[in-house]
Structure 1
Amino acid sequence: MSETTTVDRLRTALGDVAYPAARDQLADHASRNNADEDTLHAVRSLPDGTYGSFDEVVDSAALDESRDD
C-alpha cells in the first residue's frame, strides 16, 4: 500500500463532496465511493482540519502523477 494517489483518483472518490469538509468526512466519503486502498490511505493521511474545496485537498494530498490510473 502506498500513501500516494492521483488527482483523477481523488476526483473520483471526492467529486461529489459538499465543502467545507473535515478530513474524517472526506475519508468516509471516499470509502462510500469505493476508493482504492491507496487513495483511502492518502485521504486519511491528510493533515487534520477542514478543507474548503477540492483544490485544497489536492494541495494537501500526497500525489504521484507518474502512477497509472
Structure 2
Amino acid sequence: MSASTTRDRLKEALNEVDFPASKDDLLAAADERGDGNTIRALRAIPPVEYANLAEVFASVAFDDDKSPRPHGPSGGLTR
C-alpha cells in the first residue's frame, strides 16, 4: 500500500509553511500539525525544493486519485 493522504489534510498540515520549502521543511510542519498518513505521504515525495503548495500537491499521492501521479515538483509536466 502506498502512502497517501487527502488534499484537505495536506493543506491543513502545511498551512503555516513559508515557500519555497524543502522536503525537510514540509515534514517538520506536518510533524507538528499533520496526521500519520499525511506524514507518510510527504516522506514519499522527492527531496527537492518546492516553490509552492501546488508543486507539493503534484508530488503527493492522494486517497481519491484513481491513478498514481508522476513524482516531482512539476508533476511530470514539462514547462
Is TM-score (shorter-chain normalized) higher than 0.5?
A: yes
Query: Which residue does the alignment assign to 1:7?
Result: 7
Higher RCO (CA-CA < 8 Å; seq separation 6+): 1
Provide TM-score, normalisation by structure 2. Answer: 0.76
Structure 1 runs of 4+ with >4 Å offset:
none
Q: Distance in 1 between matches of 2:54 and 2:32?
A: 21
Query: Which residue does the alignment assign to 1:20?
Result: 20
Indicate the structure (1 or 2) with the bigger Cα radius of gyration: 2
Q: Distance in 2 between matches of 1:63 and 1:24?
A: 20
Percent identity over the alignment? 40
Q: What CA RMSD, in Å, does the superposition of the two structures yield over aligned residues?
A: 1.5
Unaligned runs of 5+ in 2: 66-79
Q: Distance in 1 between matches of 2:13 and 2:49?
A: 17
Higher helix share: 1
